[in-house]
């Protein structure tokens, strides 16, 4: 009765019916749910049909073999030969769930019916058959796959519609998993070659996107003889989308082939892609290229990859620069920080002032790693001032990340270093005429307190916070109250109750009588922690 209802209602109905077995009297009566689900599987709206199929597959698992043969199979047959393509499309998704639950005679029948759907006149049905073929293949025996599934797969892979052909890439992987390498050569190599050089870019895109998965399933011989040249083709494809997908597969595929093949065949393509006209291709490559460093080893990384990293670090697109920075730790593991800093540090310092704040943020997040490897002397000389300059950045996220960065640096270099280099500079900012600098000082003090000793909190942080509690700007006063809320538990742990009672409590009491409502709120909240 409800099939004419709103699609949202039908979708909710199709979803709920899958969990309804216990409410109709348990598995013994579960088959009753197939009646409404069959109607929902034939409606026009795709999402409703898909959900109905999913629910029917969920229900069938709880039924007895007798119920499956008596109720589920007849429903499957009716949907498979329905007049409208919608019901035949839905039927494709119902075969895999029932295959292992029925007798061999019924299994033969199911394979026969599925073959009809694979050869249906309507492209939408063939598309659904191609989508579900991989799942339907899983429960089958190898003999049936070779005798019946591979011919179906071949016809779908040569379909006139590219929207059908592109869906057969998943099927190819599922079939290749079952076959031995020599059988793969016999049965699927020809189709693989034709898909790799398909006239439709969408099909080539699917191949490029699943290339590593494919290479792992078809065996080393096919990889050496066919897939290396096929991979070079997709890396040089006319369509940027295909090159982008292929770029994401570079390290994964290179791990499967010899170093000579990488250097002679793949690296020349990678060098071309670094200066590709499409920003998306360069962005995808920047994310993945560092994965080549462990595969190529130190010498080849220095000789072949470092120039490419430098080029990508200077790319005009911020996304590309961002992607290469965020993966530098992999390169560091291979060539060591000394070489990395000599060759890449100038570029990193330049990027630290990049106009895109996300690029600056990525640099900040990598600073503690660089610091731990570079050592104190080098860091103070090259990067110390840079880290302080971020505290005055115009973007709040950068200022916040910069305060967290200081905490991490104290953890790396120790409290004594902080007392000599960072703390004097942060405390000086408390006198700055611009209120944003004073605000950042409050944030920095609260964050750094978690990494320093109780004595540093007593001698440096609490006096400065107390001074700032009388600031004319309410935002600063209530952030001081919040900072005290962070400091109190730390001082309690260090048995510094006298400091809390003599300095912090009177300051918070004063803030609790402030003219600003927010200042009073946070001051009272902090007092409750004492």
pLDDT at 1 over 60: no
The whole-number pLDDT of residue 340 equals 66
pLDDT at 337 over 70: no
Quickly tell me which residue has 């200066």 as its tokens.
275
The whole-number pLDDT of residue 415 equals 83
Share of the chain above pLDDT 90, in %: 2
Confidence tier at 178 by pLDDT (50, 70, 90):
confident
Contact 231, 197 (CB under 8 A): no
Confidence tier at 329 by pLDDT (50, 70, 90):
low
Tens digits of per-residue pLDDT, 416-431? 888 888 888 888 888 8
pTM for the model stands at 0.68
The whole-number pLDDT of residue 138 equals 83
The whole-number pLDDT of residue 83 equals 83
pLDDT at 225 over 60: yes
Tens digits of per-residue pLDDT, 114-160? 888 888 888 898 989 898 888 888 888 888 888 878 888 888 888 88
Question: How many secondary structure helices (H) and strands (E) does the chain include?
Answer: 42, 0
Contact 481, 507 (CB under 8 A): no
> H-type helices in 430-511, by residue range?
435-448, 454-456, 462-468, 474-493, 497-499, 505-511
CA geometry: angle at 43 spanning 37 and 48, to 5°?
Answer: 65
Contact 371, 412 (CB under 8 A): yes
pLDDT at 3 over 60: no
> H-type helices in 357-422, by residue range?
357-374, 376-382, 384-389, 396-413, 415-417
The whole-number pLDDT of residue 244 equals 92
Which tokens hold the place of 126? 């063939």
Closest of 288, 292, 285 to residue 262, by C-alpha: 292
Average pLDDT, stretch 524-530?
A: 82
- Which tops the pLDDT comparison, 206 or 220? 206
pLDDT at 242 over 70: yes
The whole-number pLDDT of residue 354 equals 75
pLDDT at 208 over 70: yes
Average pLDDT, stretch 442-462?
A: 86
The whole-number pLDDT of residue 245 equals 92
Alpha-carbon radius of gyration of the chain: 32
pLDDT at 381 over 80: no
Average pLDDT, stretch 295-308?
A: 82
State how far Cα 452 lies from the chain centre: 35
Cα–Cα distance for residue pair 270/508, rounded to 1 Å: 61
Closest of 210, 215, 297 to residue 256, by C-alpha: 215
Q: What is the DSSP string of 168-201?
A: HHHHHHHHHHHS-HHHHHHHTHHHHHHHHT-SSH
Tens digits of per-residue pLDDT, 93-116? 888 888 787 788 888 888 888 888
The whole-number pLDDT of residue 374 equals 67
The upper half-sphere exposure of residue 364, i.e. CA atoms within 13 Å in the direction of its Cβ, equals 28
């Amino acid at each position: 009765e409800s099939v004419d209802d709103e699609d949202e209602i039908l979708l909710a109905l199709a979803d709920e019916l899958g969990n309804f077995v216990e409410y109709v009297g348990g598995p013994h009566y579960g088959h009753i749910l197939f009646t409404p689900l069959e109607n929902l599987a034939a409606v026009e709206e795709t999402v409703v049909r898909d959900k109905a199929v999913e629910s029917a597959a969920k229900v069938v698992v709880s039924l007895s073999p007798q119920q499956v043969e008596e109720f589920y199979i007849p429903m499957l047959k009716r949907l498979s030969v329905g007049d409208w393509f919608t019901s035949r499309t839905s039927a494709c998704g119902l075969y895999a769930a029932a295959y292992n639950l029925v007798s061999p005679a019924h299994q033969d029948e199911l394979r026969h019916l599925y073959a009809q759907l694979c050869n249906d006149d309507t492209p939408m049905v063939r598309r659904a058959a191609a989508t579900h073929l991989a799942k339907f293949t899983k429960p089958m025996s190898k003999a049936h796959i070779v005798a019946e599934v591979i011919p179906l797969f071949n016809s779908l892979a040569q379909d006139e519609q590219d929207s059908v052909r592109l869906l057969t890439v998943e099927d190819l992987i599922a079939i290749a998993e079952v076959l031995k390498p020599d059988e793969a050569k016999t049965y699927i190599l020809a189709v693989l070659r034709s898909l790799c050089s398909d006239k439709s870019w969408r099909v080539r895109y699917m191949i490029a996107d699943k290339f590593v998965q494919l290479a792992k399933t078809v065996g080393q011989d096919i990889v050496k003889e066919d897939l290396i040249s096929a991979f070079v083709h997709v890396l040089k494809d006319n369509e940027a989308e295909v090159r982008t997908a292929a770029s994401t597969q570079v390290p994964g595929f290179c791990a499967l082939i010899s170093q000579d093949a990488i250097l002679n065949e793949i690296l020349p393509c990678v060098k071309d892609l670094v200066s590709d006209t499409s920003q998306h291709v360069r962005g995808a490559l920047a994310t993945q290229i560092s994965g080549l460093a462990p595969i190529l080893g130190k010498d080849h990384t220095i000789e072949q990859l470092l120039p490419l990293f430098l080029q990508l670090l200077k790319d005009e697109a911020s996304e590309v620069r961002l992607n290469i920075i965020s993966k530098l730790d992999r390169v560091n593991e291979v060539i060591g920080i000394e070489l990395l800093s000599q060759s890449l540090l100038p570029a990193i310092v330049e990027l630290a002032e990049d106009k895109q704040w996300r690029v600056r943020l990525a640099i900040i997040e990598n600073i503690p790693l660089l610091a731990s490897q570079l050592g104190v002397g080098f860091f103070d000389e090259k990067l110390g001032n840079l880290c302080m300059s971020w505290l005055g950045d115009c973007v709040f996220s950068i200022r916040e990340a910069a305060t967290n960065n200081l905490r991490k640096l104290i953890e790396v270099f120790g409290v004594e270093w902080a007392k000599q280099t960072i703390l004097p500079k942060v405390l000086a900012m408390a006198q700055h005429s611009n209120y944003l600098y004073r605000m950042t000082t409050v944030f920095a003090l609260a964050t750094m307190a978690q990494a320093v000793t109780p004595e540093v909190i007593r001698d440096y942080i609490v006096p400065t916070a107390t001074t700032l509690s009388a600031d004319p700007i309410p935002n600063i006063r209530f952030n001081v109250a919040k900072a005290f809320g962070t400091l109190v538990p730390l001082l309690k742990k260090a048995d510094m109750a006298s400091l809390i009672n003599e300095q912090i409590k009177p300051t918070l009491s004063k803030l609790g009588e402030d003219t600003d409502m927010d200042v009073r709120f946070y001051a009272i909240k902090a007092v409750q922690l004492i």
